[in-house]
Structure 1
Amino acid sequence: MRWRLLALLAWPAMAMAQEAPPGASTCLGCHASTRTDAAIPSLRGRDPADVAEAMRAFREGRRPATLMDRLAKGFSEEESQAIAAWIVR
């Protein structure tokens, strides 16, 4: 009985991790929801369109960065939009 309760409580966290688009969970290494650093902000609660636009700007070289410009080039526009929709949750 105790294991069933634990499994039930863990289910939402497991489901969220499984729903992550390819490559998206890596973003949490720097953009975790507990982040307070202004240089590398948390993306939770942001508008997904703004996050997707930021990724587009990094990918196209319109936004200077030390790392995100290179990372963003690895994702298509559709992948960036899926990641943006997931990471803001």
Structure 2
Amino acid sequence: MIQTPLLAALAALVLLALPGGAQAQAPDAAALQARNWAAACAGCHGPAGRAPAGAAVPGLAGRDKSELVRQMQDFRQGKREATVMQQIAKGYSDQQIEAIAGWFAAVR
């Protein structure tokens, strides 16, 4: 009889050998980090950027990445009026803004 750890290791090897195996399904570290940064937006913009109907703030899910980047940069530079977004945007680097915008753009 095969012991459980050996069986688990064998199963993992089989999955990795299949086309489109387990590695293709695992999100990469950059995607996980972008998701974590984007989670800070949920308080106002809704879970995964899906603002509730009638919300005072816009939903972010599925919006164009370049549009989101431009708006965040405008907030950060004080070019766009806001109550809190100017301060929030100042807390993110260009790389973080790009990652967050990309994450929201990919949400369907």
Report sequence identity in percent: 38
The match for 2:82 is 65
**Counterpart check, 1:77 vs 2:94:** yes
**Paired residue type of 1:71:** I
Structure number with the bigger relative contact order (C-alpha 8 A, sep ≥ 6) is 1
Structure 1: any 5+ residue segments left out of the alignment?
A: 1-14
Displacement over 3 Å in runs of 4+: none
2:44 equivalent to 1:30:
yes
1-structure distance, mates of 2:79, 2:32: 30
Would the aligned equivalents of 2:44 and 2:51 in 1 still touch at CA under 8 Å?
A: no
The higher radius of gyration belongs to 2
Unmatched runs of 5 consecutive residues or more in structure 2: 1-26
Number of residue pairs aligned between Structure 1 and Structure 2 = 73
CA RMSD of aligned residues (A): 1.9
TM-score, scaled relative to structure 1: 0.71
1:19 has 2:36 as partner: no
